Structures are given as structure tokens and as C-alpha cells.
A and B are shown apart, each in its own frame.
Chain A
Amino acid sequence: MSDAIHAHDAAHGAPHASRRTYVIGFLLSVVLTAVPFWLVMTGPLDATTTGVLIVGAAIVQILVHTVCFLHVNTQSEGGWTLMAYIFTAVLVLIVIAGSLWIMFHLNTNMMPMVDAPSS
């Protein structure tokens, strides 16, 4: 259970957990979850600022989970988990941002065609 053994384990192959990283990750996640809910449920700030803050908190929390719970680092599996993770993150961003971008413009262009009664 010495630190030397843990450091050695962490350097090779399968990720190994330590109580400290789990507790740190948990505490950070509690803060990063509670603050967005508090911001939206009590509404002390205007909607735009709140939106930016909660998206920022989500991104930070995803990174915290990745490092503290999923143990992704440059050493695990010879760096391949990290490579796969970065590749997936790029694809996820392209799929989501790209879809929203394209469909938003399509919506805008299609607007005059739709004779929406509400507008």
C-alpha cells in the first residue's frame, strides 16, 4: 500500500485508484454540480451569464470525472486511452456543434416558407 507501489501501478497498464483522488474528485463534483443548480433555481444572475457559467461548470466537471474517476492520464495503457479520449472529444464537438450550426442556418433560411401563425 506504499506510495511507491501505487506510483508504479499507475505508470503501467490498468488504471489504479486511490482514495485521495476519488475524494478530491467527489468534492469538486459536488461544488461543480451544486453551483449550477443554485444559479438556475434561484436566478441571481441574468440568463446569459448563468448559461455561460453552467456550461463552463459542466466542461470542468467532465474533465474532473475523467481524471479522478476514469483515471485517464498520459501513462495509462501507454497513452492510448488519452489518445482515444481526445479523438472522441473532437468527434463529439464536431457532431454537436456542426449539427447545431447547420440546422440553425437551415432553420433561418426556411423561416419565410413556414407561415407560422405565432410570428
Chain B
Amino acid sequence: MAAEATTETLEPTFYLVEEEHHHEPGGSTLLGFWIYLMSDALIFATLFATFGVLSSGFAGGPTPREIFSLPLVALNTAILLVSSITYGFAMIAMQEGKLGGTKFWLIVTGLLGATFVGIELYEFAELIHEGATPQRSAFLSAFFTLVATHGLHVTFGIIWLVVMLFQLNQRGLHPENQRRLQCLSMFWHFLDVVWIGVFTFVYLLGVLR
């Protein structure tokens, strides 16, 4: 009896040094997804570095000034930028618990994303039609790899967005769906950040040189 009491008192006691945080379920999911995005940023960094090294390897083929159409790139940049703020409106509607508003802004974002990918595919088709294929020169190989990797990311973002629309239709704004929408939000805004690098270093500096 006495021994039991002693062990009882020797039992380690824990004190929470920090104030209690009420963690929503999925708090660590968001951080984990953020770490994934950072690793994705490294993929893009290597592709940017490759493009930077090969950007003057024209092999007698077309140069950026000859093949890039800046008005088209400006249009695409504007579309992606607007899709960023429409996704932001979807997140605000989600926080206010408005299912209809969330779905509406998600659909707008998805349509803008699809337009972006469509215009990019049109641009690629034009380039290939003019003979500026990925096989033509090191510059074009690096260009297509970098820009198409970004476009592929946007495509997967759209697929994810459509899946989320089905989820919202079936189950509404429950915490798991909110967490998924927050992850997709980070993904979507991250792709816009990568695009800043693409239009600046690939298109604008390419035409400038």
C-alpha cells in the first residue's frame, strides 16, 4: 500500500509550457502539404536552372524573339492571376460557411484554369507547327520541359478541383473537405508563384535578350 503510494508520487508530471492550441484535425496535413510544395519548388528550380544554362543553345534554330507572342503570354498571365483571386473568394466563402458561394468560385477558378491550359496548348501547337519543336534545339527542349511541367501541374490542379466539387456536392463543407480545399488553395497559389518565374525569366527576358 505504502509502496504503491510512493510510485504514485514518483510518477512524472507533465506541464504544458505552451498555451493549449486547439488544433483542427489536419493541422499537420497542411504543414506536410506545404513541405511537399517546397520539394516541388526544388523540381522547378532544377528546371529553371536547366533552362537558364541552355537558354542560348539555339543550334541555329529559332530564338525567343522570333517565336514568343507576348500578348498571348500576357493574356495567360492575367487569366492565372485572376484565377488566384477567385480561388481566394472561394476560401472566404468556405470560411463563412457558404457552400453555394464556395462552389461558384471554385467553378470560376476551374474554368479560368482550363482556359489557361487551353491557351498554352494552342501556343505549343503553333510553335510545333512553325517547326519550333522540342527536338529542334537545347533551348526549345528546356523551354518545353519547364513550361509543360507547369502546365501539367495546373492540369492536375483542375482535376483535383473537379473532384472537390463532387465531394462538396455529396458531403458539403465538413472539416475534411475544408482541409482539402486549403491544401488545393496552397497548390493553386504556388503554381501562380511559379508562373511569375516563367513569364519573367522565360518569356520577358527571352524576348529582351
B27 touches A16 (CB 8 A): no
The tally of residues in A whose CB lies under 8 Å from a CB in B reads 48
Of B18-26, B155-163, B164-172, the segment with at least 4 beta carbons within 8 Å of chain A is: B18-26
Contacts of B42 in A (CB 8 A): 88, 91-92, 95
At the interface, is chain B mostly helix, strand, loop or mixed? Answer: helix
Which of A55, A57, A84, A87 has most chain B Cβ within 10 Å? A84
User: Closest A-chain residue to B82, C-beta based?
Assistant: A26
Interface residues on B, range: 35 or more
Q: Which chain A residues border B84 with CB–CB below 8 Å? A: 26, 29, 65, 69
**Residues of chain B within 8 A of A1, CB atoms compared:** 96
B88 near A69 with CB under 8 A, answer yes
Tell me the bound Cα distance from A19 to B49 in angstroms.
36
Residues of A within 8 A of B (CB): 1, 12-19, 22-23, 25-26, 29-30, 33, 36-37, 40-41, 47, 50-51, 54-55, 57-58, 61-62, 65-66, 69-70, 77, 80-81, 84-85, 87-88, 91-92, 95-96, 98-100, 103
Q: Would you mind naming 27 contact pairs between A and B with Cβ atoms under 8 Å apart?
A: A13-B27, A14-B30, A15-B182, A17-B91, A17-B185, A22-B85, A22-B89, A25-B85, A29-B81, A29-B84, A30-B81, A33-B81, A41-B70, A55-B205, A58-B201, A65-B192, A69-B189, A69-B192, A80-B31, A81-B31, A84-B38, A85-B38, A92-B42, A95-B46, A96-B45, A99-B53, A100-B52
